[in-house]
Amino acid sequence: MELSAPSAAPSASLRCEERLSDCGIRPTAQRVRIAGLLLSAPQHLSAEQILASLRAAGARVSKATVYNTLNLFAAHGLIRQLSVDGSRAWFDSNVEPHYHFHDLESGALIDVPVPAVAFSRLPPPPPGTEVAGIDLVIRLRKKM
């Protein structure tokens, strides 16, 4: 008896459901939709951008649902929450270690790979603590 090859790759929705489940998150319809938008590519989006995109696609979703879902995703390590300029939170679909350029004019965030940055020394952490990570944002502006 021959086994047939799988007919098609899993749908984007199914892949999102699997990623949510793998992170210990129950994949509700709204969570899958938000994950599908944010995880479709490496990107940095604000909650407001996500909400606007969902509503433009016809989704009926509240601002509170978007914020609660993004906070849940970040708490489970599915995405990374960034505070860049204190005015709003950004949500990064790339959870691998990296740093950021921040274009002050456009607001865009651009990933910077860890090997591209060198620290010659760091101060020792206070007794009883250890460094859990380093967040580096390099702010950019046009040359004057």
Please say whether the beta carbons of 47 and 83 come within 8 A. no
**pTM of this structure:** 0.82
Please say whether the beta carbons of 17 and 32 come within 8 A. yes
Q: What is the pLDDT of residue 86?
A: 78
Q: What is the pLDDT of residue 2?
A: 41
The token pair at 4 is: 């047939």
Which amino acid belongs to residue 143?
Answer: K
Q: Give, in order, the Cα–Cα distances in Å from 29 to each of 26, 35, 111, 143.
A: 10, 10, 30, 46
Q: Name the 3-class secondary structure at 119.
A: coil
User: What stretches of 9-136 adopt beta strand conformation (E)?
Assistant: 44-46, 80-83, 89-92, 98-103, 109-113
Tell me the backbone φ, ψ of residue 57, rounded to 5 degrees.
-85, 5
Give the pLDDT of the chain (144 residues) as one tens digit per residue.
444 444 444 688 888 999 999 999 999 999 999 999 999 899 999 999 999 999 999 999 999 999 999 999 999 999 999 988 777 889 999 999 999 999 999 989 999 999 999 999 999 999 999 998 888 999 999 998
Please say whether the beta carbons of 95 and 78 come within 8 A. yes
